[in-house]
Amino acid sequence: MFQSLPEKLLFEKEYNGVPVQVWEKLDRRELRFGNLIVQSAYSTLQPDCLLLRYTRQMLAAIALVPQLENVLHIGLGGGSVANFLFHHFPEIQQTAIEINPLVIDAAYEHFGLPNDSRLMVLRMDVTESINDLTGPYDLIFLDAFDHSGASSCFDSTNLLLQLQDLLTADGWLVGNFWNQLRLFSLQKELWHGLCGQLIEAKTGVMTNSILYGHAQSNHILLSTVQKRAQELESTLPLRLLPLVKRFKNLEHSDQSTLLGR
């Protein structure tokens, strides 16, 4: 009979009625919000290892941009993506916005988030403070989840337009969503209306899907993305090429020279 590994509760506090918990199993730590849904995972043996599939797929976005200098994260979680970029791209500047102070505390105390000027963490509500952001950013990661799913702030057309205005000419919005919910279809329709090019990559049938949105109408070619992925793979502990091969261009899938074929 299968028995699950024993867990140890390392951290538990409550913010606005929602528990923020850190659980440990052997060398793995998980951030949860009072349920079994894993928000972030961290290896104490390999701190820069991306344990969750969706974080690896989000990071495939680095193959979409010709140069990476400035990154914005909306939603911190355990800081897996930010931590990976911090260690493997020492020349870039990152800013992370997180509304929940307990999540920030947990990331620093239990998930190895570096306290460094190259990774600035701001405790704020992005809907109230977006005008304080200057950019421009090469990538903006949207990964603000709570106990019930993706933050409702991403349902705002106005907010997404403001975020697009903070991107460089070659910059991309990258959003993490649960693909089994009807709200995800509404999100895709919203992004369709805002983006000159929209890409989807599924991490599983009933799990997460990543949306990549580019404001400009000049579409990036698959050959260009694959070339960048291969170049980056040689210096990173991450197999990028299989990740970019999951890209599906949601607007031009009938053109073999564009993403999605």
Do 23 and 145 reside in the same domain of the chain? no
CATH code, 135? 3.40.50.150
Q: What is the pLDDT of residue 144?
A: 86
Q: Domain range holding 91? A: 53-249
User: pTM for this one?
Assistant: 0.91
Model pLDDT for residues 22-69, shown as the tens digit of each residue: 999 999 999 999 998 999 999 999 998 999 999 999 999 999 999 999
Lowest pLDDT segment from 42-46, 121-125, 201-205: 201-205
> What interhelical angle do 182-194 and 157-165 show, nearest 10?
50
Cβ atoms within 10 Å, residue 4: 6
183 and 94 belong to one structural domain: yes
Same domain, 239 and 123: yes
Confidence of residue 169 (pLDDT cuts 50, 70, 90): very high
* Tokens standing for residue 102: 């307990």
Does residue 258 lie in a domain region?
A: no
Shared domain for 98 and 202, answered yes or no, is yes
Q: Are residues 33 and 151 in the same domain?
A: no
Section 4-14 average pLDDT: 90
* Contact call for residues 58 and 82 (beta carbons, < 8 A): no
On whether both 31 and 99 belong to a single domain, the answer is no
Domain co-membership, 222 together with 139 = yes
Give the span between the Cα atoms of 14 and 76, in whole angstroms.
17
Q: Are residues 142 and 240 in the same domain?
A: yes
Output the pLDDT for position 216.
Answer: 85
